[in-house]
Structure 1
């Protein structure tokens, strides 16, 4: 239900030049950075199927999608990784809210080589989610639990409230909807209509 991401964004030479020009500043109002953020949003929507990298739910079930820095740039924690491809993904508004991750420091041990950082949570790209999480599938609930005594899974489940009844039921609704869409090969236009009706309820 929460799948490992495999396709970080690959910057063009022009985008790399833009990032260097603004001094790696994520808050830059430069036109090239605004364009890059639009491109990043589209990339992650496509690669993640509009699902949050932490909870696996569609953005529209938990609020809008937002660009996420897995090693947070906020509170001046790790601004050096602001544009690192494996540090960027898309997250739902709920998982990124102040009651959940927000400015939470997800790094246990820092390393200047990003791929060598030890994270406290299951990393969307660097960790095999099947190793860390175990799912049990029911019609009304899809429960999540810790697999292989994983501390990362334990922390992710705690921070993002992945085992809450609300999340458990939302995963079941989403799974049932996807199974029906696949079973009946429902066209995209009808899927969008169904989503809009469901989101009103």
Structure 2
């Protein structure tokens, strides 16, 4: 993903930022209005109308559907408020869940530059990581299932952005375990004798990932 390049009056405003007062981000008048709009328009194109964390598509372009995300929270490290590689576009739900949680694998010193390597981040970084290296998204009986591929970035993104919400809250399930049991039972009951190895493999891969004991606590809570 290409980071935004500030130009004109936006560049002038960003260049004058003191690196301390992050509250200017939420001002509703003045130069912040066109600046936020420019950031939103840039990343919505770069991301193909997909949320950086859940990858769900929203065709709207206004701020009521999207939030400009500060990957490293602006309240914790205000000097990165306008750092292009610290910015992305996310849905309201992911932003609310992630909030200002710590995404760094090690503490930054007060004047440290922005960490431009993926190892410095505990979650999937929209600029540095390939999403599919850490997370699978599957459809099971019309329900969206997020499957972390590992116990660090995949799992942390799953937890931090509350991606389990897609598995039962929007799927009409009472709980994830209930949904899993129900769908597996339906599959076994209706599985045709000529089911392809690929279909069976997909199901088994889903089960192996989901019932792994290292994920069971997060999924069931």
SS, match of residue 135 in structure 1? strand
What residue is the counterpart of 1:145 in the other structure?
147
Q: Partners of 2:22 and 2:49 in 1: how far apart?
A: 22
What residue is the counterpart of 1:8 in the other structure?
3
Q: Partners of 1:58 and 1:169 in 2: how far apart?
A: 17
Quote how far apart the aligned CAs of 1:139 are: 4.7
What residue is the counterpart of 1:90 in the other structure?
89
Choose 1 or 2 for highest CA Rg. Answer: 2
Quote how far apart the aligned CAs of 1:50 are: 2.8
Structure 1 stretches of 4+ with a deviation exceeding 6 A read none
User: Pick from 17, 21, 41: which aligns with 1:22?
Assistant: 17
Q: Is the 8 A contact 1:132 1:152 kept in 2?
A: yes
| More divergent stretch after superposition (108-117 vs 30-39) | 108-117
Ranked by relative contact order (alpha carbons within 8 Å, sequence separation 6 or more), the top structure is 1
Q: Is the 8 A contact 1:15 1:32 kept in 2?
A: yes
Taking structure 1 as the reference length, the TM-score comes to 0.67
Q: Partners of 1:55 and 1:107 in 2: how far apart?
A: 19
Name stretches of at least 5 consecutive residues in structure 1 with no aligned partner. 1-5, 171-201
- Shift in CA distance, 125/166, structure 1 to aligned 2, threshold 3 Å: farther
CA RMSD of aligned residues (A): 2.7
SS, match of residue 23 in structure 2? coil
1:189-200 aligned at under 5 Å gives the runs none
Q: Partners of 1:103 and 1:134 in 2: how far apart?
A: 25
- Shift in CA distance, 36/145, structure 1 to aligned 2, threshold 3 Å: same
1:38-117 aligned at under 5 Å gives the runs 38-59=37-58, 64-74=65-75, 77-97=76-96, 100-109=97-106, 110=108, 111-116=112-117
Quote how far apart the aligned CAs of 1:151 are: 0.6
Quote how far apart the aligned CAs of 1:59 are: 4.3
What residue is the counterpart of 1:160 in the other structure?
161
Q: Partners of 1:58 and 1:135 in 2: how far apart?
A: 13
Q: Is the 8 A contact 1:59 1:91 kept in 2?
A: no
Q: Is the 8 A contact 2:124 2:131 kept in 1?
A: yes
Quote how far apart the aligned CAs of 1:169 are: 4.7
